[in-house]
């Protein structure tokens, strides 16, 4: 189970990106999806690091 969660809007955006790319190249769309989720996995442990914005609360 991932150590992060994505909002419904974020998931919709990712789907929109995948839908756009897959029109030209299914392998590229799947690879891009993998890259996004790999980045999320790497970033999740540091989610509370750094400055906090009042907009994020």
- Closest by Cα among 43, 46, 9, 16 to 32: 16
Quick: pLDDT tens for 11-47: 999 999 999 999 999 999 999 999 999 999 998 887 7
Q: What range does the domain containing 13 cover?
A: 8-43
Work out how many domains the chain is built from and give that number.
Answer: 1
22 in a structural domain:
yes
57 in a structural domain:
no
The yes-or-no verdict on residue 3 having pLDDT over 80 is no
Q: Whole-structure pTM over 0.85, yes or no? A: no
Compute CA distances 27 → 2, 12, 50, 56, whole Å. 24, 20, 35, 35
pLDDT score recorded for residue 44: 86
Report d(CA 11, CA 33) in Å as an integer.
11
34 in a structural domain:
yes
51 in a structural domain:
no
């Amino acid at each position: 189970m991932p150590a992060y969660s994505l909002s419904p809007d974020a998931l919709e955006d990712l789907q929109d990106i995948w839908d756009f790319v897959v029109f030209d190249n299914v392998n590229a769309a799947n690879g891009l999806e993998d890259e996004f989720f790999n980045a999320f996995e790497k970033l999740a442990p540091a989610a509370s690091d750094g400055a906090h914005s009042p907009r994020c609360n």
